[in-house]
Amino acid sequence: MAFCDQCGRPGEHPGCAARRALEPPRFCAECARRMVVQVTPTGWRARCSRHGERTSG
């Protein structure tokens, strides 16, 4: 992972790792672009305009 999927900055961060357990990604880990996130009762779906879609589970 080149960028943090929680804050969009380069690298891993302890505070973001704790958030990652409870929240879907907000930024693309490949390019740091803000993703469109949809949360459903069964999980989440996040889409980057350049790198496609990620889903939970």
**In this predicted model, what pLDDT tens digit does every residue of 1-49 receive, in sequence order?**
699 999 999 998 999 999 988 999 999 999 999 999 999 999 999 999 9
Contact present, 48 and 33 (Cβ < 8 Å): yes
Is residue 52 very low, low, confident or very high in pLDDT (cuts 50, 70, 90)? very high
Task: Give the Å distances, CA to CA, from 34 to 14, 40, 41.
Answer: 20, 19, 22
Helix ranges (H only) for the chain are 14-20
In this prediction, residue 38 carries a pLDDT of 97
Instruction: Give the C-alpha separation, 48 to 57, whole Å.
Output: 18
* One-letter amino acid for residue 23 of the chain: E
